[in-house]
Structure 1
Amino acid sequence: MALSKCPNSTIFQKSLSVNDFYFGTAGWNYPMGHISFVGKLDGETLKGGAPALTPGWTLDLMAKHSLDFWLTSEDLPDPNNRVTLDAEGGIVLSYKPNNEEGHKRLIAKLKELMQQQTKCDVHGHDCHEGLFARNLFVGQKIPLAGVAHQVGTIRFGSDPKSSALDENCKAHELENLYVVDGSFFVSSGAVNPALTIMANALRVGDHLIERLR
């Protein structure tokens, strides 16, 4: 979330996304991720991530001066990041973040771009000179409990030793079992996987048509 001295009067913030730095940038040739706007935040929304004693009026004021972003970077495949069962059959999530340097660079790049905006869209001139910084940035990571777009766990590949499905999403050891949901992913990427899941399901469907002829 970027905070400016000038208010942001937008109620329904446009949905825009930037993938210019998805695969890296000058001086960093590795994936960084995806930048997008989120719907306009308000004080009540900010309360969920703020310290318990934060006054409500502070959050309302911040929201009125904010431009709100969602940054997503990819966790690289790691066999230790997995879902297992405990002795009683309960679900155990094992997760350790990686590729954090790429995410830090993505945040830094967004800050750099925002700081290049010196002309105020409200007043038509630079309103940020003076005692206080021109803009401030605050943010937080979404915890594991906030996970969405789950993929993986039944990865596909050419080698039965490292994958459960073949390239057509058929189980290596069974002739009549295909998996066409998000489980086949070997890595999540940093964007919504829905269209990829749909496209792959259509691809597997074409394969099945040919096989059953």
Structure 2
Amino acid sequence: MTTSITWWEKTVEYAFVLQTATFVDFAAPLAGVEERAGDGIFASDSKLLLIEFKRSFDALSSEQKKFVNFEQAAEKLGDYDAHHFIVYGDEVSEENTRKPSLRLVARTYFSGKESEPLSAVFDAGSSKENFDNYLRELLEFKRSDGRSSGTISPSAYASVIGISKSRGVKTVSMSEYLQRVLKYEYTMELSQAPAQSETPRMGGPF
């Protein structure tokens, strides 16, 4: 009898790093506001990815709740999401055995195109200019997050991954990228329920 395995969203994230480290020079996430926004990885030779990790396929539908209108977002951004992925886990049985194992699946966020092999996501990186334009448009469709401290945060657990010819691969959280690179802030009051009309504003020059 096949025994099911247990895993979590964070399991998928760690497994992604471990499995793709054989293809690229992968580094641990950057941390700390004292780090410079680029640290070399957001330089001119870099390509950027946005990856959101989910536990399983069944959890993907929860992403739609983050949007004021998911259908409108998909219609507008679906042709431009080649660098934006959801990576999730899928339980499979190893060939010729009944032993279950965890397989990772990467699909583009809106258009649902599967990346095969998994490492092919690194070939889909976008230029910083296109990435930032996409990110700004994406945020316009997002609901504000009542759990935030007041300064940002839709998709706080997403990762921005930079692929640099000279510096390998590094990541920062999407929330940190928004703060340090795009200078986004939220003007919402924590005492108020998130309003559908609230959208991020730019703070300072881009």
**TM-score, length-normalised on structure 2?**
0.25
Indicate the structure (1 or 2) with the bigger Cα radius of gyration: 1
Structure number having the greater strand percentage: 2
**TM-score, length-normalised on structure 1?**
0.24
Determine which structure has greater relative contact order: mean sequence separation of CA pairs < 8 Å that are 6+ residues apart, divided by chain length. 2
